[in-house]
Amino acid sequence: MVGNEKKKVLRSLPEKFPQILDPEHCGTITQIWKGFDNLYKTLSAWKPCQTRIDSFFGDVIEWLKLYLSLGGDVIGYENASVTPYIHVLAYHLPRFVKDETPFKSFTGQGVEKINDTVRSIYHNKCNNHDACKEALLALKRIDHLQGFERQPHQYSKKMMSTGASDIFEQRRKRPRLCVASTEDDAPPMNEIDVDTMTIHEIKTTLKEMGIATRVRREDKLRENSQESYF
């Protein structure tokens, strides 16, 4: 998962926990995920509200205690999973939040975006291409074009050209087979029953009318003749 996909999982997956987790620990795990999402929203906000700033340290401690309460009971929530990152989250980041320093300014989203681009190129390229070279070229293009913005193409509908109108006119005048008259009151003229004709007769008739076909099978020839010319 890259980019915003992780955020979508963080916010959408807890709703599906009752369907996949043990009911005994489902509620606690759901609170852990939603609590971390709440902390993440505070850190990623440019100007969090004063209530969030004042309660951030307490929210982190409560979230950490809730996380440790599952130690040994659920796989993945052991005490050994508490890394130095969680220590920084609990005892260092609250100072930045209280100083009203937007922590979002220190995020590495730009670097992460480059990493996502490189990973995408690497996984999409086959063995016949140099993925490293393609990644470097892509990053160089991004560097050169970061000050530009693509302008959408302005399309204005114009009158049909003479060449296109001639093509439609030629197609309209092309001779076609017909089993009945196009007029309701007029008697049918030149009725041709394809079902009673042989393959040679169908091809000969089409050739005389200037219609070429490559179909050889009898059923396909009759079917295409009925669909295309009747």
CA angle 117, 122, 123 (to 5 degrees): 105
| Selection from 66, 63, 58 nearest residue 28 by Cα | 66
Please give the Cα distance from 23 to 39 (Å, whole number).
25
143-155: pLDDT as tens digits:
788 777 777 777 7
Distance CA 198, CA 224 (A): 15
What number of other Cβ atoms are within 10 A of residue 14's Cβ?
18
pLDDT for 182 equals: 47
State pLDDT tens for residues 164-205: 667 777 777 776 655 444 444 444 435 566 677 777 777 777
pLDDT for 25-37, tens place per residue? 888 999 999 999 8
User: 122, 129 in Cβ contact below 8 A?
Assistant: no
Of 98, 97, 135, the residue nearest 117 (C-alpha): 135
Residues 6+ apart with CB under 8 A from 55: none
pTM: 0.46
